[in-house]
Amino acid sequence: AKGPLKQVHQRTFGLNGVNPFSSYSTSFSMLSVDQSERLYFGTESGKIVCMDGRSGKKLWVVSVDGHSIDTEVLRVGGTELYVGTAKGYVYRYDISPTQKRPERTWALELDGQPRGKLLHHNGHVFVGSNIGYLYALTEDGALAWKYKYQNVDSEMSIRNFAKPLTTKGHIFFSNSKGDVIGIDSTGSLLWKKSIPQLISLKFKDISDLSWISEDILLVSSFEGKSAIFSSKGELIQVFDREGTSAQPLFSEKDGSWLLPGVKALQKIDRESYLYLWEWPLDKATRWSGFISSEKEYLASTVSGWLYVLDPQEKKIRWKYKVGRSIQPGMVKLGEKIWVLSSGGHILAFERRGQ
199: in domain: yes
205: in domain: yes
Q: Are 71 and 84 in contact (CB under 8 A)?
A: yes
Of residues 124 and 25, the one with the higher pLDDT is 124
209: in domain: yes
pLDDT of residue 62: 93
Average confidence (pLDDT) over 137-162: 71
What does the alpha-carbon distance between residue 126 and residue 136 come to, in Å, rounded to a whole number?
5
DSSP result, 26-87: TTT---EE-TT-EEEEE-TTSEEEEEETTT--EEEEEE-SSS-B-B--EEETTTEEEEEBTT
pLDDT higher than 60, residue 290: yes
Percent of the chain with pLDDT over 70: 83
339: in domain: no
Give CA torsion, residues 328, 226, 200, 25, to 10 deg: 10
DSSP 8-state symbol, 166: T
40: in domain: no
Of residues 36 and 107, the one with the higher pLDDT is 107
Average confidence (pLDDT) over 295-302: 87
Least confident of 109-123, 195-209, 297-311, 340-354: 195-209
**pLDDT band of 151, cuts 50, 70, 90:** low
Residue type at 68? S
pLDDT of residue 8: 86
Average pLDDT, the chain: 80
Domain that holds residue 198: 170-285
pLDDT higher than 70, residue 163: no
Percent of the chain with pLDDT over 90: 22
In 10 A of CB 80, how many CB atoms? Answer: 17
pLDDT of residue 27: 39
> What CATH number did the domain enclosing 207 receive?
2.40.128.630
234: in domain: yes
pLDDT of residue 89: 97
Which of 89-93, 237-241, 335-339, 346-350 has the highest average model confidence (pLDDT)? 89-93
DSSP 8-state symbol, 144: E
pTM: 0.84
**pLDDT band of 156, cuts 50, 70, 90:** low
DSSP result, 98-134: T-SS-EEEEEEE-SS-EEEEEEEETTEEEEEETTSEE
pLDDT higher than 60, residue 67: yes
49: in domain: no
**What are the Cα distances from residue 39, in Å, to 56, 88, 160, 189?**
9, 24, 21, 35
176: in domain: yes
pLDDT of residue 212: 77
pLDDT higher than 70, residue 245: no
Q: How many domains does the chain have?
A: 1
Of residues 325 and 49, the one with the higher pLDDT is 49
